[in-house]
Structures are given as C-alpha cells and as structure tokens.
Amino acid sequence: MKVAKFGGSSVASAEQIKKVAAIITDDPAKKFIVVSAPGKRNKDDFKITDKLIEIANRHCQGEPYGHLTETIMMRFSEILDQLNLSSAIAEELHQTLEEALGSNEYDSPKVDIVKSLGEVFSAKVLSAYLTSIGLNATYTNPETAGIIVSDEPGNARVLEESFANLYALRKNSGIQIIPGFFGYTKAGKLVTFSRGGSDITGSIVAAGVKAELYENFTDVDSVFTVNPSIVYRPKQISTITYKEMRELSYAGFSVFHDEALIPAFNVGIPVCIKNTNNPEAPGTMIVAEKEPTEQCVVGIAGDGGFCSLYVSKYLMNRELGFGRKLLQIFEDEHISFEHAPSGIDDMSVVIRQNQFTAEKERIILQRIQDELNVDTIKIHRDLAMIMVVGEGMISTIGVAQKATKAITDANVNMVMINQGSSEVSMMFGIQEVDLNRAVQSLYKAFFE
Amino acid sequence: MKVAKFGGSSVASAEQIKKVAAIITDDPAKKFIVVSAPGKRNKDDFKITDKLIEIANRHCQGEPYGHLTETIMMRFSEILDQLNLSSAIAEELHQTLEEALGSNEYDSPKVDIVKSLGEVFSAKVLSAYLTSIGLNATYTNPETAGIIVSDEPGNARVLEESFANLYALRKNSGIQIIPGFFGYTKAGKLVTFSRGGSDITGSIVAAGVKAELYENFTDVDSVFTVNPSIVYRPKQISTITYKEMRELSYAGFSVFHDEALIPAFNVGIPVCIKNTNNPEAPGTMIVAEKEPTEQCVVGIAGDGGFCSLYVSKYLMNRELGFGRKLLQIFEDEHISFEHAPSGIDDMSVVIRQNQFTAEKERIILQRIQDELNVDTIKIHRDLAMIMVVGEGMISTIGVAQKATKAITDANVNMVMINQGSSEVSMMFGIQEVDLNRAVQSLYKAFFE
C-alpha cells in the first residue's frame, strides 16, 4: 500500500488532473492520495492559495475582494467544465468561503478555513473525476481521517493519536482522497500547517497507514545534485538518505518541506520524489540507509543571507562557560544560531542575516561588551554557506582536499570551513557574491 | 631599558651562570634580571624545584627527606664553589627550608616558601657573582619589588598595584636581580604562580618598568616552525605575533608559559626568545603586529589527547537553545570545551580527554539523554588537533587547499576541519596515530 501526494502543479488544470488519474489508475497499490491546492499552470500564473490568503487579508482591511473571488471561481469552473464534472463543487466552496469570511467586513474571518479551500477543492474534484472514470474513490476530510493537530493556526503540529486514527482507514475499500495542508483540533477547529504543508499531510498519512512507500509527485524528474539554475542540466540523484536530504534542504534545496520528512523518517517509510509529467522516470528515493557507493558526495547546495559575529578574547579557552554565555545572549534575543565554530581565543556565531535587525544588533553587541569583556567584535555580512553532502564522506580520504581545491580553483576565498561536526556534510562559508562560481566549480570536481 | 629572564637551564651550573653574566655585562640596557631555579644540566639531571616539592610532600607524609636536602645542598655548594662565592647563601637557604617545613612532621609546611627557594638561590647567587666581577648588582626580593599577588597558593594572580610599585624601581641604580615564580599577598604571605611561573614574573616586571623589550633566555636559538622532535632541524621563526604564539602554544608548543604573555601583551611590550648558549643568534621576536610577508603560515603545531562527543538530532537547528544547553551540561561538570563545531542537526564538543573520567562520562551521557532527547550520541577518543597558524591566512586564497592536500597526501583522514573561527589559524582533527605523519607533510608543503 502506497500513499501518493500530488503537488500544486499536478492539480493546476484539468489536463494535469487527468495525468494524476492515469497515474493512480496504473498502480492499484496507491490507496491514499493527498493533494495540494491548484498551483501555477505556467510561470506567469497564480496559485489558488495565494489568492485565498489575499481575500482574507483584504476582507480584514475592509478592501474589496469580489474580483479575486471571481478569478478563483473561474479557474474552478474551468477545471470542472473540462473534466465534465458538475459545477456543484465550485458552488459549495463559494458558499463555504463566504461563510468563513463572515457576514460583514468587521467580522474576523476564519483565515485557516479560507486558506484550506484550495486543497479541499482539489481533493473533491479528483475524487469526483476518478469516480466518473469508474474508480472507487472517496473524498475523505482530515476530520474524518482523524488528523488531530495542535491549536496553532498557520503552524499546526500533528498530535500522536492521529496515527492510530489513520491506521483505521486501511479497512476502507477503494481509494481515499485527502486534502493536504490542514487538520482539526480536538475541539473540532480547522487549523493549517505551515505553508507547503501538504507534504506534511502526505507524510503523516504514510506514517499512519504504515505505507510501504510515500510517493511525492511534483514537476521535476528527481532531486538534482545541484540547483539547476546554477548548473545547466545537472545530474539527478537516484537514492539519497533522509539525513542527506535534510542537509541539502537547509542550504537552498527546496524540493521538499523540511518538517515533512519527520513522520516518514520516524517510522522509516521511504519517500519517492516523482514527476507527474513524466511518471516513467524513476525519480529520487529518500531512504534511511543506502549502500555505500564510490561516489560519496550526493549533492551540493548553497544559500546566501548569512552573517557572522566574531569575538576574540585572550585566553578565552581557559574561561569555563564563555561559549555558553555567548550563545545565551543570542537565545535571550530569540535568535537561533546556525553554527558556532570556536578557535582557542575566538568564537564565531553564524546566523541568518534577516534575524539580525539593527535593534537586535545594538542589544547583542552591547551585552557582549558588558558581560563578556572581549577584546574584539567583528560582524561579517552577506555570507553564503555551501554544503557538500554525502554519507560516507567522513571515512573517505581526500574529499576535503577535492572540495577545497575546487573552491580555490574558482578563485574564491573560504571565510569558513566546518567539517566533521556533521557526519554527512562539509560546510564552506564564502562571500555571497562568489556563490555561483564556487558551486559550479564544486559540481565540476565531484560530478563531471 | 630591558628586562631579561633566564630559565632553569641558564642557571643550572656555574658554567651557565658565567654565560648569563657575560650576556648581562655585554648589554648595559639589561637593568632587570629575573631568574628561574637551577634546572637540568643534562637530560638525566634533576630540577631543584622538583626536589623541593618532593621534600614538602615527604615531610607531610612523615617520610624521610634528609637525602633530598643533601642532594640540593650539594648542588648549591658546587655552584657557589665553582663561582668562588661564599657558602653563606646555601646555609641561609638551608635554614629557611628547615623553618618553612616546621619543627616536626605534623606541622603543615609552608609549601610555597619551600618551592620558591630554587629561584631565591639563583637570584642571590647571580647577584653575588655579578658583584664579584665588578658590576653594581642587587638582589631584589619580590616583596621589596612590590609584586603583590592574590592569595591562591600555587596559582597566584598578579594584582594591578604591582605595576606602579615596579615602575618605582626604575629610579634605583645598577642591575636588579629578582627571583621569578612568586609574589607576596597584601598580608605579606609568599605565594607562588603556577609551574613555569618565572616567565610570568619576567613579563610582569617588563610591564611594570615599561621595558622596551622583554628578553626570555632559554636553551634554544628560537621558536621553531614545527616541533623539532617531529621534523628534523625545522626552520626558525624570526618574528611572530602574540596571537600566533598563543595558537601554537595551545597545540604543543611549550616554549613559553601561556599566561606569561598577558602582562607584556597588555601594554604591547615585545618579547624576544633567545638562547643563553648562543646569544648571537637573533632569536624569535614576539610582537603585537608584523609586516605581512609572502609566507603567511608561520608555524604548525599538533597535540594529542583530545576526544569528541558527537550528538545528532533531527531538526536540531530549529531548536532555540540546544547548543547552549549542551554546553551548559559540560560547564556544570566543570569540563571546559575546546571547540564545539555544529552542523545542521549535529553538534560535536571537543574536550581534553583527561577531563573525561568514566564517572564524568556516565553523568554527561545520562544528562544528554534525559534533557536533550537526542537521536545519536557517539564518543571519539584519541584524537589529535593540528593547528596551522599565521596571520594573513584569512585573506590568502589557497591556504586551506594546500593544507588539506598535504594531509591527504600523507594518507590521513581529517575527522574535523575548523577554519574561519580563528583569524590566525586553521585547525584539523585527526587520529592521534596519524599526528607525526600529517605534521611532517604539512611542514613539507608550507616550509620546504
């Protein structure tokens, strides 16, 4: 038994929904289907969820939003029309939308209900279409499915009892179509996950029903070894471990919602990233463990927007508690640090730059001066972090040398190297402006 | 005006003391002389201070120590005899020793007084000898000199008022000979610095009298670029900064007592390491800043005896405070960490292995499990840390590549690389067994 999740582009149009139906028809093991809201049909198109959020915002501010409702209903109607389905689904949703917004502009709208309607529509349409072509398909609301979440609107967390509830769905016959992105609190209130949360729903369902595989259908053939916007047509990854995937996601690989891997990871269900537009392609398997191969580097990722705060103090390393106190100052200001490499009398704290407002900077510098009595403080901005990722690199001689050579060959200065703290990656800090050049050179060294 | 400090081997015998006298005679700027206790005359010899400590210990345990007193007095007498000086100095010290030990075995001995007698003897002998050859030399006790310290026996810290007291000594004429290793509390109690503390006295005196130079005479021509027991006749360092010296000292360079640099560093007095046995050699200058040179690596040091504790936890980097809490556990157990490199979902804490007793290990592992709920904990023992040190390496492209290539060429796996946290060094963690091979290969790459 498999769980398949189809992303926004897979349900963006009638044509795409037909592809999804063909994929489901071809594989009787796909018993649970999770869907996103209709996404973009082309680069200049809009996502349904974006429009829904805009409607909720405009309603709050007393601004007109009738034209947006119109746009959404037109898209829905077009899909239903081209699939030869009744327009009742669209009308039902229109009504739900109006109810959720409240009767007048001063009512506070039920934002999470509004946001969830794109997924609800996708799931209802797909189940109606599958039924129309002769399959035994049922729309299953997350409430019926038993997806119980915490009461944190826009950022729900799944509660443990959900998994047993979902397991009970196995006894139902036919194909069950579940809208992604939301669950219900114990009190029965609809609450959404963070954005991109349909991946989370899919993973929760896979873990709950104890699927043999969680297939995540998107619009690329696989996870690439490097960002295709930096390297032209890079190699594809056939198998990757959860850990490797996580390290790559961190530094700019946005194929998969970070948190979404957790439920599948916890129970060891493999995840397969596949392409709705090319389902024959084998895709990328994300697994707990893989056979060691000669190629120990699996991918290279890079991301900008980091800054580092450097402090030095003579005989720092004799001062018990120095590092802890420095990190405490950041924690007190609710800034999470990414890395904190330390030398003998030096320590750097690397953070995402967007957390470091002028006000936070002022407070933190002041506190470091007052409380830690350091000799030097320096801030380096606009840094990029590159991750060279691969299980097995820890025990392979020469990987670090190859990587540093590639970066040096690109004439890029390494501001920071952090190897060994992670068993599956090596991290290089460089200037943001050097990012593409360094990544291209690393790709060449490891994959060409 | 210069302060010169002569180490144990420089005052180990009459012959050596004559060399010291010649060095002082040759340079009228040397107005303040600090001396250690007589050290070893050859590899199999003993150090006076070791014998004094043994006497104190034996006295405490009610064991006989007369043979040790005998040995010391013989050494003292021999020196006095060969310098044609009166034996009165030896007799005076013998009496002080007996008084400090107390009248019977149950008295608690004044250990710090016992320990200080080697330095007191050296200073008295040298000043008597210089006088005997016609110089205006005076023995100056640290109490007279105004070296006021905290009441922490065996680990005293200098108090700020000492510097003004010392400055007042400038008005005295002639050469002032001060025993190293100890000072007096405000209440007039003799207290010693940590072992090797004559370097500290020298640095304090240099800072107090505002010397133009602090010369530290030892038995090597200079600081070497690498440990001569690992590389045969390595290159010498002509100029090095305080920061570079500190990084090298950390990982096995024991030329100079770490703490000793601080007083000189604070007021920017340059330190020169010279050889009593070859005073014509230029030695190594330790300075605040130096001209950038093409050779940006100044030295390579390595030391074993480290271990690392590795933890991983899925989505660790989203957990505000994780790193701080982990370090807090070590701090609570009074273990100071050396480095704490972190990955995305991983963090390692590198400590000196000797701090990690079986009991501490048990407590720490338990607390990490209980309080941090991690996925994995691993301990790696018997690691060595190599420091490649040099100001300017931070802005030189290719240094990391050269270093990683050298280590790879030696067929050594890098367990850890930490670059960028310190502005003057790059750190490599390897297996202890690979240390010499890796250091030799690095030396070849950077210095041959």
List phi, psi (to 5°) of B25: -60, -40
Asked if residues A388 and A207 have their Cβ atoms less than 8 Å apart, the reply is no
List phi, psi (to 5°) of A439: -65, -40
Contacts of B427 in chain A (CB under 8 A): 343
What pLDDT is attached to residue B337?
86
Stretch A422-438: mean pLDDT, rounded?
A: 92
Q: What is the pLDDT of residues A77-90, one digit of tens each?
A: 999 999 999 999 99
Stretch A129-141: mean pLDDT, rounded?
A: 97
What pLDDT is attached to residue A107?
55
Domain ranges of chain A: 2-219, 299-447
Tell me, which fold does domain A2-219 have in CATH? Answer: Carbamate kinase (3.40.1160)
**Pairwise CB contact (< 8 Å): B318 & A310:** no
Q: Which residue is listed with tokens 């050579």?
A: A405
Q: Which residue is listed with tokens 């039920």?
A: A110
Distance (Å) from the alpha carbon of A9 to chain B's nearest alpha carbon: 28
Stretch A355-365: mean pLDDT, rounded?
A: 93
Q: Which residue is listed with tokens 């605040």?
A: B288
**Pairwise CB contact (< 8 Å): A339 & B339:** no
Helix (H, G, I), strand (E, B) or coil at B309: strand
Q: What is the DSSP string of B374-405?
A: -SEEEEEEEEEEEEEE-TTGGG-TTHHHHHHH
A315, burial (CB in 10 Å: exposed 0-12, middle 13-18, buried 19+): middle
Statement: residue A70 has pLDDT above 60 = yes
Contacts of A347 in chain B (CB under 8 A): 421
Q: Which residue is listed with tokens 């739900």?
A: A96
**Pairwise CB contact (< 8 Å): A405 & B401:** yes
For residue A321, the chain B residue with the least C-alpha distance is B331
C-alpha radius of gyration, chain A, whole number: 24
Statement: residue A38 has pLDDT above 90 = yes
Contacts of A250 in chain B (CB under 8 A): 317, 344
Which ranges in B214-335 belong to alpha helices (H)? 242-250, 261-267, 322-332
What pLDDT is attached to residue B108?
61
Q: What is the pLDDT of residues A226-241, one digit of tens each?
A: 998 899 999 999 999 9
Q: Any residues with CB less than 8 A from the CB of A123 and at least 6 apart, and which?
A: A33, A35, A139, A140, A177, A178, A179
The annotation status of A19 as a binding-site residue, yes or no, is: no
Structure tokens at B95: 């009496």
Distance (Å) from the alpha carbon of A338 to chain B's nearest alpha carbon: 6
Q: pLDDT > 90: what percent of chain A?
A: 71
For residue B425, the chain A residue with the least C-alpha distance is A343
Residue of B417, B437, B442 to mutate, testing the A interface (most A Cβ within 10 Å of its Cβ): B417
SS3 content of chain A, % helix, strand, coil (to 5): 40, 20, 35
A103 pLDDT band, cuts 50/70/90, is low
Question: Cα–Cα distance between A184 and A156 in angstroms, integer?
Answer: 9
Q: Any residues with CB less than 8 A from the CB of B170 and at least 6 apart, and which?
A: B1, B31, B209
What pLDDT is attached to residue B255?
63
Q: Could you report the average pLDDT of every consecutive run of 10 residues in chain B (448 residues)? A: 96 97 97 97 93 91 91 95 94 89 66 94 97 97 96 92 97 97 94 90 97 95 91 93 85 70 91 96 92 85 92 81 91 88 85 92 94 92 93 83 94 88 86 96 95
What pLDDT is attached to residue A21?
98
Q: Which of A51-55, A294-298, B309-313 has the lowest mean pLDDT?
A: A294-298
What pLDDT is attached to residue A113?
92
What pLDDT is attached to residue B146?
97
**Pairwise CB contact (< 8 Å): A421 & B315:** no
SS3 string of B75-141? Answer: HHHHHHHHCCCCCHHHHHHHHHHHHHHCCCCCCCCCHHHHHHHHHHHHHHHHHHHHHHCCCCEEECC
Which ranges in B261-341 belong to alpha helices (H)? 261-267, 322-332
Helix (H, G, I), strand (E, B) or coil at B311: strand
Judge if ipTM > 0.90.
no
Statement: residue A200 has pLDDT above 90 = yes
**Pairwise CB contact (< 8 Å): A314 & B262:** yes
Statement: residue A50 has pLDDT above 70 = yes
Q: Which CATH number fits domain A299-447: 3.40.50.300, 3.40.190.10, 3.40.50.720, 3.30.2130.10?
A: 3.30.2130.10
What pLDDT is attached to residue A402?
93
User: Residue A262 belongs to what H/E stretch?
Assistant: helix A261-267
C-alpha radius of gyration, chain B, whole number: 24
Stretch A121-126: mean pLDDT, rounded?
A: 96
What pLDDT is attached to residue A101?
85
Q: What is the pLDDT of residues A318-353, one digit of tens each?
A: 788 888 999 999 999 999 888 888 877 888 899 999
What pLDDT is attached to residue B105?
53
Stretch A15-32: mean pLDDT, rounded?
A: 97
**Pairwise CB contact (< 8 Å): B397 & A416:** no
- For chain A, give the number of residues: 448
How many CB contacts within 8 angstroms connect chain A with chain B? Answer: 192
Question: Cα–Cα distance between B265 and A122 in angstroms, integer?
Answer: 70
* Closest C-alpha among B432, B282, B293, B416 to residue B353: B432
Question: Cα–Cα distance between B135 and B138 in angstroms, integer?
Answer: 9
Query: Is A299-447 in the same CATH topology as A2-219?
Result: no
Residue of B344, B373, B423 to mutate, testing the A interface (most A Cβ within 10 Å of its Cβ): B344
Contacts of A398 in chain B (CB under 8 A): 408
